[in-house]
Amino acid sequence: MTRLIALDTETTGLSPNRGDRIVEIGCVELIHMRKGATRQWFINPERPIPAEATRIHGITDEKVANEPIFRKIAEDFLAFIGSDQLVIYNAGFDLGFLNAELARIKRPLLDGSRVIDALMLARKRFPGAKADLDSVCKRLKIDNAHRKLHGALLDAELLAEVYVALNGGAQFAMDLTGGVEEVVVKVATTEQAVTVDVVRPVRVWPIAREEEQAHAAFLEFMQKEHGACLWTN
């Protein structure tokens, strides 16, 4: 089973190195490129949320005052993502925050080699164009009209749709047997080539019994009329 996790975070600011913390994590499971389970964690950041951050995601001190701190949700979060590949938009940002939180509780950091940066994929698909999530959604005809504010789960759900669309939808190519793709992931200042297993679901197109009978009758007619029929050999 090929399982990916589309992931997004909301934070108190832009820099974990200056003490900013995570206030929300959203995850959407993709199994064979189809949406599976979703998870959302609101987190008490143990520090005030600046007004400028609230204007972006709508999360206030009051909203997360009674939510668990990161340490309390870490096991649940890590169990959900497992060892599967993570799909993140602008991966350096989210990965930096997640690893800062994990380092704070002395847990192993998330390896950048397991991350697919969908921003890099979008820039490759639409070179020179605006590459923020809203612009890419519009270009791929993904409905994001409900995105009035940022939200980790909301953005992870849009990201999952974007990632599937960037890879051609549920069916990547005429070859349905699977394969690997290599993408370049930029984490912080390091670019890494990552090989990703791609499983292309076999699509079955059922036909009605009447159509099957009509097809068989036509082949029989061709055989009698011309003495041979390629499709019956």
From the list 19, 187, 20, 22, the residue with the least C-alpha distance to 8 is: 22
Nearest 5°: the CA angle 25, 28, 30 is 150
- Given the residues 57, 150, 215, 226, the one annotated as active site: 150
**Is 146 known to be catalytic?**
no
From the list 201, 203, 159, 153, the residue with the least C-alpha distance to 178 is: 201
User: Residues with Cβ < 8 Å from 98, sequence gap 6 or more?
Assistant: 9, 22, 25, 110
> How many C-beta atoms surround the C-beta of residue 48 within 10 A?
10
Q: How far is CA 108 from CA 76, 102, 135, in A?
A: 15, 7, 35
The per-residue b/e assignment along 137-172, b for 16 or more CB within 10 angstroms, e otherwise, is bebbebebeeeeebbbbbbbbbbbbbbbbbbeeeeb
From the list 208, 219, 196, 207, the residue with the least C-alpha distance to 86 is: 196
Positions marked active-site: 150
